Structure 1
Amino acid sequence: MSNYEVRLDRGGRSPLHYAALEGDLQEITHLLEQGVDPNIPDKKGFTALHFAAQQWQVQAAEMLLNGGAEVDPRNKYGNTPLMVATHSSQGRDDLIELLRSRGADPFAETSDGRTPFGLARLVGYNFFADLEEREDRNHNG
Protein backbone atom coordinates (compact mmCIF):
# COMPACT_ATOMS: atom_id res chain seq x y z
CA MET A 1 0.00 0.00 0.00
CA SER A 2 1.16 3.50 -0.74
CA ASN A 3 1.80 6.26 1.75
CA TYR A 4 1.54 8.76 -1.09
CA GLU A 5 -1.46 11.04 -0.64
CA VAL A 6 -3.08 11.72 -4.00
CA ARG A 7 -4.42 15.24 -4.20
CA LEU A 8 -7.19 15.77 -6.71
CA ASP A 9 -8.11 19.08 -8.29
CA ARG A 10 -11.72 20.28 -8.49
CA GLY A 11 -12.21 18.21 -11.65
CA GLY A 12 -11.09 15.10 -9.79
CA ARG A 13 -7.79 14.91 -11.68
CA SER A 14 -4.64 13.66 -10.05
CA PRO A 15 -1.05 14.66 -10.78
CA LEU A 16 -0.88 11.44 -12.85
CA HIS A 17 -3.60 12.76 -15.18
CA TYR A 18 -1.51 15.87 -15.85
CA ALA A 19 1.75 13.96 -16.21
CA ALA A 20 0.08 11.72 -18.80
CA LEU A 21 -1.38 14.73 -20.62
CA GLU A 22 2.05 16.35 -20.81
CA GLY A 23 3.96 13.14 -21.53
CA ASP A 24 6.10 13.71 -18.43
CA LEU A 25 7.67 10.25 -18.24
CA GLN A 26 9.81 11.07 -15.21
CA GLU A 27 6.77 12.21 -13.21
CA ILE A 28 4.70 9.22 -14.35
CA THR A 29 7.49 6.90 -13.19
CA HIS A 30 7.72 8.71 -9.85
CA LEU A 31 3.96 8.62 -9.23
CA LEU A 32 3.61 4.97 -10.18
CA GLU A 33 6.58 4.08 -7.95
CA GLN A 34 4.82 5.92 -5.11
CA GLY A 35 1.83 3.63 -5.63
CA VAL A 36 -0.56 6.04 -7.31
CA ASP A 37 -3.40 4.08 -8.90
CA PRO A 38 -3.25 4.61 -12.68
CA ASN A 39 -6.99 3.91 -12.90
CA ILE A 40 -8.23 6.86 -10.83
CA PRO A 41 -10.98 8.50 -12.90
CA ASP A 42 -11.70 12.21 -12.82
CA LYS A 43 -15.26 13.47 -12.31
CA LYS A 44 -16.13 12.67 -15.94
CA GLY A 45 -14.54 9.23 -15.81
CA PHE A 46 -11.34 10.06 -17.70
CA THR A 47 -8.27 8.17 -16.53
CA ALA A 48 -4.65 9.09 -17.09
CA LEU A 49 -4.67 6.69 -20.07
CA HIS A 50 -7.53 8.66 -21.66
CA PHE A 51 -5.41 11.80 -21.27
CA ALA A 52 -2.33 10.16 -22.78
CA ALA A 53 -4.47 8.99 -25.72
CA GLN A 54 -5.98 12.45 -26.17
CA GLN A 55 -2.55 14.07 -26.51
CA TRP A 56 -0.99 11.14 -28.40
CA GLN A 57 1.55 10.47 -25.67
CA VAL A 58 2.54 6.96 -26.77
CA GLN A 59 5.37 6.44 -24.29
CA ALA A 60 3.21 7.73 -21.45
CA ALA A 61 0.43 5.34 -22.45
CA GLU A 62 2.84 2.41 -22.53
CA MET A 63 4.22 3.35 -19.12
CA LEU A 64 0.70 3.59 -17.68
CA LEU A 65 -0.26 0.21 -19.14
CA ASN A 66 2.92 -1.34 -17.76
CA GLY A 67 2.06 0.26 -14.41
CA GLY A 68 -1.33 -1.42 -14.23
CA ALA A 69 -3.66 0.88 -16.14
CA GLU A 70 -6.76 -0.84 -17.47
CA VAL A 71 -6.81 -0.77 -21.26
CA ASP A 72 -10.57 -0.20 -21.74
CA PRO A 73 -11.93 2.02 -18.95
CA ARG A 74 -14.96 4.04 -20.02
CA ASN A 75 -15.59 7.68 -19.22
CA LYS A 76 -19.10 9.04 -18.66
CA TYR A 77 -19.62 9.20 -22.44
CA GLY A 78 -18.62 5.56 -22.84
CA ASN A 79 -15.34 6.45 -24.53
CA THR A 80 -12.39 4.12 -24.03
CA PRO A 81 -8.79 5.26 -24.53
CA LEU A 82 -8.88 3.50 -27.93
CA MET A 83 -11.84 5.65 -28.99
CA VAL A 84 -10.05 8.78 -27.78
CA ALA A 85 -6.89 7.71 -29.63
CA THR A 86 -8.81 6.96 -32.83
CA HIS A 87 -10.40 10.40 -32.65
CA SER A 88 -7.06 12.11 -31.93
CA SER A 89 -4.91 10.07 -34.30
CA GLN A 90 -4.70 12.34 -37.36
CA GLY A 91 -3.86 9.15 -39.26
CA ARG A 92 -1.08 8.02 -36.91
CA ASP A 93 -1.26 4.41 -35.79
CA ASP A 94 1.43 3.67 -33.18
CA LEU A 95 -0.81 4.35 -30.18
CA ILE A 96 -3.70 2.44 -31.78
CA GLU A 97 -1.37 -0.53 -32.25
CA LEU A 98 -0.15 -0.31 -28.65
CA LEU A 99 -3.67 -0.27 -27.22
CA ARG A 100 -4.81 -3.10 -29.47
CA SER A 101 -1.76 -5.19 -28.53
CA ARG A 102 -2.87 -4.84 -24.90
CA GLY A 103 -6.41 -6.01 -25.67
CA ALA A 104 -8.33 -2.79 -26.37
CA ASP A 105 -11.71 -3.53 -27.94
CA PRO A 106 -12.23 -1.80 -31.32
CA PHE A 107 -15.95 -2.64 -31.06
CA ALA A 108 -16.51 -1.08 -27.61
CA GLU A 109 -19.56 1.17 -28.01
CA THR A 110 -19.81 4.68 -26.64
CA SER A 111 -23.03 5.84 -25.01
CA ASP A 112 -24.24 6.97 -28.44
CA GLY A 113 -23.35 3.67 -30.14
CA ARG A 114 -20.12 4.65 -31.89
CA THR A 115 -17.06 2.38 -31.91
CA PRO A 116 -13.37 2.99 -32.64
CA PHE A 117 -13.74 0.62 -35.60
CA GLY A 118 -16.70 2.57 -36.98
CA LEU A 119 -15.03 5.94 -36.48
CA ALA A 120 -11.86 4.81 -38.24
CA ARG A 121 -13.90 3.42 -41.11
CA LEU A 122 -15.95 6.62 -41.36
CA VAL A 123 -12.91 8.88 -41.67
CA GLY A 124 -10.96 6.49 -43.88
CA TYR A 125 -8.27 5.34 -41.45
CA ASN A 126 -7.04 1.81 -42.03
CA PHE A 127 -6.25 0.98 -38.38
CA PHE A 128 -8.54 -2.02 -38.26
CA ALA A 129 -8.08 -3.47 -41.74
CA ASP A 130 -7.54 -6.90 -40.21
CA LEU A 131 -11.10 -6.68 -38.85
CA GLU A 132 -12.83 -5.41 -42.00
CA GLU A 133 -13.51 -8.86 -43.43
CA ARG A 134 -14.85 -10.16 -40.14
CA GLU A 135 -17.15 -7.17 -39.75
CA ASP A 136 -18.41 -7.47 -43.34
CA ARG A 137 -19.19 -11.17 -42.77
CA ASN A 138 -21.12 -10.32 -39.60
CA HIS A 139 -23.29 -7.80 -41.42
CA ASN A 140 -23.71 -9.67 -44.70
CA GLY A 141 -24.20 -13.20 -43.81
Structure 2
Amino acid sequence: MGRRHGGRGRGGGGGEEDDLHLHKAARSGDLAAVESLCEANPLALSSRDRLSRTPLHLAAWAGHVDVVKCLCKHKADVGAAAMDDTAAIHFASQKGHVEVVRELLVSGASVKAKNRKGFTALHFASQNSHLELVKYLVKKGADITLKTKGGQTALHVAEKDDVRAFLKECELSLKKGGELPSEKKDDSASTIAEKPGDDGAATKDGDEVGLGEKRKNDGIAAGSRSPELKKTKVSLGHLVSANDLDEDEEEEAD
Protein backbone atom coordinates (compact mmCIF):
# COMPACT_ATOMS: atom_id res chain seq x y z
CA MET A 1 0.00 0.00 0.00
CA GLY A 2 2.88 2.35 -0.01
CA ARG A 3 5.05 3.47 2.83
CA ARG A 4 3.67 5.08 5.95
CA HIS A 5 5.08 8.15 7.62
CA GLY A 6 5.59 7.57 11.30
CA GLY A 7 6.76 11.14 11.96
CA ARG A 8 3.86 12.84 10.20
CA GLY A 9 6.11 15.76 9.39
CA ARG A 10 7.27 16.30 12.98
CA GLY A 11 10.79 15.23 13.73
CA GLY A 12 11.07 13.54 10.32
CA GLY A 13 13.26 14.28 7.35
CA GLY A 14 12.87 17.25 5.06
CA GLY A 15 11.35 15.17 2.28
CA GLU A 16 8.69 13.81 4.60
CA GLU A 17 7.91 17.31 5.81
CA ASP A 18 7.42 18.46 2.22
CA ASP A 19 5.19 15.48 1.47
CA LEU A 20 2.87 16.27 4.36
CA HIS A 21 2.72 19.92 3.35
CA LEU A 22 1.00 18.70 0.19
CA HIS A 23 -1.42 16.61 2.25
CA LYS A 24 -2.32 19.64 4.33
CA ALA A 25 -2.72 21.91 1.31
CA ALA A 26 -4.89 19.36 -0.49
CA ARG A 27 -7.07 18.86 2.56
CA SER A 28 -7.58 22.57 3.17
CA GLY A 29 -8.22 23.37 -0.50
CA ASP A 30 -5.19 25.64 -0.96
CA LEU A 31 -4.96 25.36 -4.73
CA ALA A 32 -1.96 27.69 -5.13
CA ALA A 33 0.05 25.74 -2.58
CA VAL A 34 -0.94 22.42 -4.14
CA GLU A 35 0.16 23.59 -7.58
CA SER A 36 3.46 24.89 -6.24
CA LEU A 37 4.23 21.77 -4.22
CA CYS A 38 3.39 19.47 -7.13
CA GLU A 39 5.75 21.41 -9.38
CA ALA A 40 8.52 21.41 -6.79
CA ASN A 41 8.22 17.78 -5.73
CA PRO A 42 6.23 15.51 -8.07
CA LEU A 43 6.99 12.50 -5.87
CA ALA A 44 4.86 14.02 -3.12
CA LEU A 45 1.79 13.17 -5.20
CA SER A 46 2.14 9.51 -4.29
CA SER A 47 3.33 10.06 -0.73
CA ARG A 48 1.34 8.52 2.11
CA ASP A 49 0.45 9.75 5.56
CA ARG A 50 0.34 7.40 8.52
CA LEU A 51 -3.07 6.10 7.40
CA SER A 52 -1.78 5.39 3.90
CA ARG A 53 -3.73 8.29 2.39
CA THR A 54 -2.44 10.30 -0.54
CA PRO A 55 -3.16 14.02 -1.01
CA LEU A 56 -5.85 13.03 -3.52
CA HIS A 57 -7.74 11.03 -0.89
CA LEU A 58 -7.92 14.07 1.37
CA ALA A 59 -8.93 16.48 -1.39
CA ALA A 60 -11.65 14.08 -2.57
CA TRP A 61 -13.08 13.68 0.93
CA ALA A 62 -13.13 17.44 1.50
CA GLY A 63 -14.78 18.08 -1.88
CA HIS A 64 -12.13 20.41 -3.29
CA VAL A 65 -12.83 19.96 -7.00
CA ASP A 66 -10.14 22.36 -8.25
CA VAL A 67 -7.53 20.67 -6.09
CA VAL A 68 -8.62 17.25 -7.34
CA LYS A 69 -8.32 18.50 -10.92
CA CYS A 70 -4.86 19.87 -10.19
CA LEU A 71 -3.65 16.63 -8.60
CA CYS A 72 -5.05 14.59 -11.49
CA LYS A 73 -3.41 16.95 -13.97
CA HIS A 74 -0.10 16.19 -12.28
CA LYS A 75 -0.77 12.46 -12.69
CA ALA A 76 -1.90 11.51 -9.20
CA ASP A 77 -2.91 7.85 -9.01
CA VAL A 78 -6.72 7.99 -9.00
CA GLY A 79 -6.93 4.31 -8.08
CA ALA A 80 -4.53 4.43 -5.13
CA ALA A 81 -5.94 2.68 -2.06
CA ALA A 82 -5.73 3.91 1.50
CA MET A 83 -6.38 1.64 4.48
CA ASP A 84 -9.07 -0.96 3.86
CA ASP A 85 -8.52 -0.44 0.11
CA THR A 86 -10.58 2.75 0.19
CA ALA A 87 -9.97 4.78 -2.98
CA ALA A 88 -10.50 8.47 -3.65
CA ILE A 89 -13.86 7.80 -5.34
CA HIS A 90 -15.05 6.11 -2.15
CA PHE A 91 -13.99 9.08 -0.03
CA ALA A 92 -15.82 11.49 -2.35
CA SER A 93 -18.92 9.30 -2.44
CA GLN A 94 -19.12 9.32 1.34
CA LYS A 95 -19.78 13.04 1.24
CA GLY A 96 -21.83 13.16 -1.96
CA HIS A 97 -19.33 15.21 -3.94
CA VAL A 98 -20.73 14.71 -7.45
CA GLU A 99 -18.27 17.03 -9.18
CA VAL A 100 -15.30 15.34 -7.52
CA VAL A 101 -16.57 11.90 -8.53
CA ARG A 102 -17.06 13.15 -12.08
CA GLU A 103 -13.48 14.43 -12.22
CA LEU A 104 -12.11 11.17 -10.84
CA LEU A 105 -14.02 9.13 -13.41
CA VAL A 106 -12.79 11.39 -16.22
CA SER A 107 -9.27 10.86 -14.92
CA GLY A 108 -9.56 7.09 -15.02
CA ALA A 109 -11.08 5.99 -11.72
CA SER A 110 -13.31 2.90 -11.90
CA VAL A 111 -16.98 3.26 -11.00
CA LYS A 112 -16.91 -0.40 -9.92
CA ALA A 113 -13.90 -0.15 -7.61
CA LYS A 114 -14.43 -1.97 -4.31
CA ASN A 115 -12.88 -1.54 -0.92
CA ARG A 116 -11.82 -4.45 1.28
CA LYS A 117 -15.38 -5.12 2.42
CA GLY A 118 -16.69 -5.04 -1.14
CA PHE A 119 -18.30 -1.60 -0.94
CA THR A 120 -18.41 0.42 -4.16
CA ALA A 121 -18.95 4.15 -4.60
CA LEU A 122 -22.64 3.37 -5.17
CA HIS A 123 -22.85 1.53 -1.85
CA PHE A 124 -21.34 4.49 -0.04
CA ALA A 125 -23.50 7.07 -1.81
CA SER A 126 -26.63 5.01 -1.11
CA GLN A 127 -25.76 4.41 2.52
CA ASN A 128 -25.19 8.12 3.09
CA SER A 129 -28.37 9.20 1.26
CA HIS A 130 -26.78 11.12 -1.61
CA LEU A 131 -29.54 10.65 -4.18
CA GLU A 132 -28.08 12.84 -6.93
CA LEU A 133 -24.77 11.02 -6.72
CA VAL A 134 -26.56 7.66 -6.73
CA LYS A 135 -28.32 8.69 -9.95
CA TYR A 136 -25.08 9.92 -11.47
CA LEU A 137 -23.18 6.73 -10.62
CA VAL A 138 -25.94 4.57 -12.09
CA LYS A 139 -25.87 6.69 -15.25
CA LYS A 140 -22.12 6.15 -15.41
CA GLY A 141 -22.45 2.39 -15.29
CA ALA A 142 -22.46 1.52 -11.60
CA ASP A 143 -23.83 -2.01 -11.20
CA ILE A 144 -26.79 -1.95 -8.80
CA THR A 145 -26.55 -5.74 -8.42
CA LEU A 146 -22.98 -5.79 -7.08
CA LYS A 147 -22.82 -7.16 -3.56
CA THR A 148 -20.49 -6.56 -0.66
CA LYS A 149 -18.70 -9.45 0.99
CA GLY A 150 -21.66 -9.54 3.34
CA GLY A 151 -24.03 -10.07 0.41
CA GLN A 152 -25.53 -6.57 0.33
CA THR A 153 -26.44 -4.52 -2.70
CA ALA A 154 -26.70 -0.73 -2.69
CA LEU A 155 -30.41 -1.11 -2.01
CA HIS A 156 -29.75 -3.13 1.14
CA VAL A 157 -27.58 -0.40 2.66
CA ALA A 158 -29.69 2.56 1.50
CA GLU A 159 -30.78 4.74 4.41
CA LYS A 160 -33.45 7.01 2.94
CA ASP A 161 -36.73 6.24 1.20
CA ASP A 162 -35.99 8.34 -1.89
CA VAL A 163 -32.75 6.46 -2.54
CA ARG A 164 -34.44 3.12 -1.94
CA ALA A 165 -37.31 4.04 -4.26
CA PHE A 166 -34.90 4.98 -7.05
CA LEU A 167 -32.87 1.78 -6.69
CA LYS A 168 -36.03 -0.33 -6.61
CA GLU A 169 -37.14 1.36 -9.82
CA CYS A 170 -33.76 0.51 -11.32
CA GLU A 171 -34.15 -3.12 -10.31
CA LEU A 172 -37.62 -3.34 -11.84
CA SER A 173 -36.40 -1.73 -15.06
CA LEU A 174 -33.56 -4.21 -15.34
CA LYS A 175 -35.88 -7.15 -14.79
CA LYS A 176 -38.16 -5.88 -17.53
CA GLY A 177 -35.25 -5.20 -19.83
CA GLY A 178 -36.02 -1.51 -20.03
CA GLU A 179 -33.99 1.63 -19.53
CA LEU A 180 -32.73 2.59 -16.13
CA PRO A 181 -34.51 5.61 -14.61
CA SER A 182 -31.39 7.76 -14.88
CA GLU A 183 -31.23 7.09 -18.63
CA LYS A 184 -34.77 8.24 -19.39
CA LYS A 185 -34.02 11.93 -19.03
CA ASP A 186 -31.11 14.27 -18.45
CA ASP A 187 -29.43 13.58 -15.15
CA SER A 188 -29.81 16.49 -12.76
CA ALA A 189 -26.46 15.54 -11.22
CA SER A 190 -24.69 16.97 -14.27
CA THR A 191 -25.44 20.48 -13.08
CA ILE A 192 -25.44 20.00 -9.33
CA ALA A 193 -23.07 22.19 -7.37
CA GLU A 194 -21.19 21.15 -4.30
CA LYS A 195 -23.22 21.82 -1.18
CA PRO A 196 -21.85 24.65 0.95
CA GLY A 197 -20.30 23.48 4.15
CA ASP A 198 -19.08 20.12 2.84
CA ASP A 199 -15.53 21.28 2.24
CA GLY A 200 -14.63 21.23 5.91
CA ALA A 201 -16.11 17.84 6.60
CA ALA A 202 -12.79 16.05 6.76
CA THR A 203 -11.57 18.21 9.62
CA LYS A 204 -14.29 17.28 12.08
CA ASP A 205 -13.45 14.98 14.95
CA GLY A 206 -15.32 11.71 15.07
CA ASP A 207 -16.16 11.48 11.37
CA GLU A 208 -16.50 7.89 10.30
CA VAL A 209 -16.29 6.60 6.79
CA GLY A 210 -19.32 4.58 5.83
CA LEU A 211 -21.70 5.63 8.60
CA GLY A 212 -25.11 7.15 7.90
CA GLU A 213 -27.90 8.02 10.29
CA LYS A 214 -30.23 5.12 11.12
CA ARG A 215 -33.56 5.08 9.39
CA LYS A 216 -36.28 6.01 11.84
CA ASN A 217 -39.10 4.31 10.01
CA ASP A 218 -38.07 0.68 10.14
CA GLY A 219 -41.51 -0.46 9.06
CA ILE A 220 -41.03 0.85 5.54
CA ALA A 221 -38.07 -1.41 4.94
CA ALA A 222 -39.45 -4.46 6.74
CA GLY A 223 -41.05 -6.00 3.69
CA SER A 224 -38.28 -5.15 1.24
CA ARG A 225 -35.22 -6.73 2.78
CA SER A 226 -34.17 -10.31 2.84
CA PRO A 227 -34.46 -11.57 6.45
CA GLU A 228 -31.07 -13.19 6.39
CA LEU A 229 -29.28 -10.04 5.26
CA LYS A 230 -28.74 -7.57 8.03
CA LYS A 231 -27.54 -4.09 7.24
CA THR A 232 -23.96 -3.67 8.30
CA LYS A 233 -22.18 -0.42 8.79
CA VAL A 234 -18.62 0.08 7.70
CA SER A 235 -16.81 1.85 10.47
CA LEU A 236 -13.64 3.33 9.05
CA GLY A 237 -13.24 6.26 11.35
CA HIS A 238 -9.51 5.66 11.45
CA LEU A 239 -9.31 6.97 7.88
CA VAL A 240 -10.46 10.45 8.85
CA SER A 241 -8.92 12.18 11.82
CA ALA A 242 -9.01 15.90 12.26
CA ASN A 243 -5.57 16.40 13.68
CA ASP A 244 -3.67 13.37 12.49
CA LEU A 245 -1.26 15.54 10.53
CA ASP A 246 -0.42 17.71 13.51
CA GLU A 247 -0.78 15.69 16.70
CA ASP A 248 1.96 13.78 18.46
CA GLU A 249 2.30 10.07 17.77
CA GLU A 250 -0.70 7.98 18.69
CA GLU A 251 -1.55 4.38 18.05
CA GLU A 252 -3.15 3.65 14.69
CA ALA A 253 -6.67 2.24 14.81
CA ASP A 254 -7.29 -1.24 13.50
Above 0.5 in TM-score?
A: yes
CA distance in 1, matches of 2:49, 2:56: 11
Counterpart of 1:24?
64
1:114: Cα distance to partner?
0.5
> Given residue 166 of structure 2, which amino acid in structure 1 is its aligned partner?
F
Unaligned runs of 5+ in 2: 1-40, 177-254
Question: Is the contact made by 2:144 and 2:171 (CA closer than 8 Å) also made in structure 1?
Answer: no
Unaligned runs of 5+ in 1: 137-141
Please report the TM-score for the alignment, with normalisation by the length of structure 2.
0.48
Give a deviation string over 1:69-125, Cα, whole Å, max 9, x none: 110111111100100000011xx42101111111111111101100003334x8532
Runs of 4+ in 1 over 3 A off after TM superposition: 133-136
Point out the structure with max Rg over C-alpha: 2
> Does residue 78 in structure 1 map to residue 118 in structure 2?
yes
From the superposition, tell whether residues 133 and 100 of structure 1 become closer, same or farther in structure 2 (CA, over 3 Å). closer
Counterpart of 2:81?
41
Q: What RMSD, in angstroms, separates the aligned Cα atoms of the two structures?
A: 1.9
After TM superposition, the structure 1 = structure 2 runs for residues 109-128 of structure 1, keeping only pairs within 5 Å, are 109-120=147-158, 124=161, 125-128=164-167
Question: Is the contact made by 1:38 and 1:47 (CA closer than 8 Å) also made in structure 2?
Answer: yes
After TM superposition, the structure 1 = structure 2 runs for residues 101-112 of structure 1, keeping only pairs within 5 Å, are 101-112=139-150
Please report the TM-score for the alignment, with normalisation by the length of structure 1.
0.85
Give a deviation string over 1:42-84, Cα, whole Å, max 9, x none: 1211100000000111111111111111101111111001000
SS at match of 1:44: helix
Counterpart of 2:128?
88
Q: How many residues in Structure 1 have an aligned counterpart in Structure 2?
A: 131
